[in-house]
Structures are given as structure tokens and as C-alpha cells.
Amino acid sequence: MTGPFTNFLYHFNRLYIDTSGLVFGTLFDPTRDLVLITGGGSGLGKELTSKFRSQGARVVVFDLDIPTTDSKNYVEGVIYIACDVSDREVVLQKAQYVTENIGVVSLLINNAGITMGKTVLDLSFDEIEKTLQVNLLSSFYTIKAFMPGMMKNKRGYIVTVASTLGYLSPARLSAYGASKSGLIALHESLTYELGPPAFNTTGVKTLLVCPGQLRTGMFNGVRTPSTLLAPELDPKEVAYTIYRAVKLGKRGEIKLPLYGRLIPLVRLVPWPLAELVRYFSGMDESMKKFVGNAASLGEKSATIFNEAASIISNMTPKLGSSEAAQVELTENRELPNPDNT
């Protein structure tokens, strides 16, 4: 049937689609979107990888430690690419490889993170720089590598995994807290560079996730001041929360658990009151027994990581980091070697 009414319905439908796209953005489609997760080989990253893959999405993981097929962290059908996200040249090389051989990334989840539970004076310069490179600078690298493709297609989603400690950092977490504060600022600036969320015409959305302490190896030995007020978070539940937010096309911020929504308010009170909050919460004592596996994106310690890096650099002074990076692909198809691209 054709005629004025049909014509009206057609144009009304087009207007609805265009308007909803501006207001809500393009919704995630696992049959269409390509997901890339940094630090997806363990912890929260592994749970994110598993969740998105279980929904049928194509998933690429950038991680320094690639899980073997017999590892509990291995997820069938995921493309694992060994990548030191702290190295800009390696990230750009691997990103180009993904774009040319796998597809245009339309969902980027910047999740990679490490921590060092030491005082400022006890932190080495290498540890400070490595923490900032992995936790903060790597997000700049991946955004600059993948966002142009998103904007060209007018379809993209950038999820930044920061921390509640980006708002209020305890003692012995100076580098970690600084890096997470930087991620919050990066997210905020990027969001409004893309345009006000309600009138974003680029097709690229942003989402900030600020979880509290996760039940992962990264914070082994950390004493939570109050399990009632500040419970440890199950990585699976956090991953599901992030997936659901992406599926619904949400923008803005997610703070978990409840106290995460209250922490920014501490910045508003006079400093004597803020000090009382810190004292009675016990937050500045929580890192004294820290053990962690902080030195890698997987399960290695900081000492092992730094010693290995030093040995490799001394033994292979002429070998570039791009050449040293390895890639393991777990899909049943032949792909070019990313180190030859």
C-alpha cells in the first residue's frame, strides 16, 4: 500500500531512528560490533572477555600475558594478541594489524591496569613510569588508534575502567591513584570533545566505570576497612554490569558499590572533616599488608617483571619492542603475522 499515510510513516520512522541515535546512540550489536579489551587475559578483563564472547561477539584481547589453551583464563574463540600496552609503538602496530586483518573496532574497553603498593619514596622511577604508562597512557594510545575508525563509521563505544580510588586515593597508592584520576579526567574531556552526550553526532559514545576493590590477584593482601560498607566486588558481577550498560547504550558513569557514589562528596567537605573520614574508615592502613601480583597484566610480580625487562634489554639492545612482541591467534583461520605488517 502506498500513499500519503505510508509516506508519512516512512519519514516518521526515519526521524525516530535518527533522533534516537542522537539521544541514545547506536546500541551494541554482538553480530556486528568488534570488541577490543586491553588487559583481557585475567581478572576483570578475563570476565569481560568471557561475557562479551558468550553473547556471540567477536573479541580481541591485548595483553602482555596470553593465556594458554589449558588455562582457566582462556576463552574459546577469542583472538589473543600479545601486546605491551605501555609501549606506544607496539600498540599502534598491533592496532593497525587488527584494523587491516580483523576489522574496525567499534567497542573499545580500556581495562589494563597494574599497581604497586609502596610509598612515594619506596617506588622506583621505573615503577612510577610503568604504572602511569599501563594504567593511563595506554588509553590515550588505544583511543588515538581506534577512534578515527569509529568516527568514520559513526559507530563506536569507548569504555574506560578507572577506580573509585581516582577520586580518593589512600596511602601507598600514589601512582595508581594518580593514574586513575587521570583516566577520569581523560574520559570527561573526551566525552565533551565528542559533543554533549545528548547531541553527539559523531556516533561515538563514552562510559566511565569506577569500581571499588575487586576480588582479584591485583589487590592480594589488601585489608578492606569494612566489608559491610566497602565489600569486595566479584569481577563476574562487575563484568555483567558493564555488559548490561553497553547493551543498553548507557553513557556517563558507573560507580560500584554504593560507597563509590559517595566518595566524590568527601572532596566537598572541609579538610578536617575529610581527615576524620579517612581516619575512621581505616583506608590509609589498608595497603600495609599488600602482596598483589601488580607487576604485570597477568599473574607476575613487579620484581620479576622489571628484572626480566632489564635482562631482555641488556641481551637484545638492537631488538625493537615491536619485533619482540608475539601474537597468538585462537581462531581457526590464517592471518598475517602482525610483526611483519
Closest by CA position to 281, among listed 226, 340, 204, 338: 226
> Active-site residue 51, yes or no?
no
User: 46, 94, 130, 180: which is the annotated catalytic residue?
Assistant: 180
d(CA 44, CA 50) in angstroms, rounded, equals 10
φ/ψ of 117, rounded to 5, equals: -85, 70
How many CB atoms lie under 10 A from the CB of residue 64? 22
User: 80, 97, 176, 243: which is the annotated catalytic residue?
Assistant: 176
SS3 of residue 327 by DSSP: strand
Q: Across the strands, what pairs with 252?
A: 207
Joined grid coordinates for residue 95: 592496532
Give residues with Cβ within 8 angstroms of 337, minimum separation 6. 327
Joined grid coordinates for residue 338: 602482525
> Active-site residue 205, yes or no?
no
Give residues with Cβ within 8 angstroms of 159, minimum separation 6. 107, 108, 109, 110, 111, 206, 207, 208, 209, 242, 246
Mind telling me the catalytic residues?
176, 180
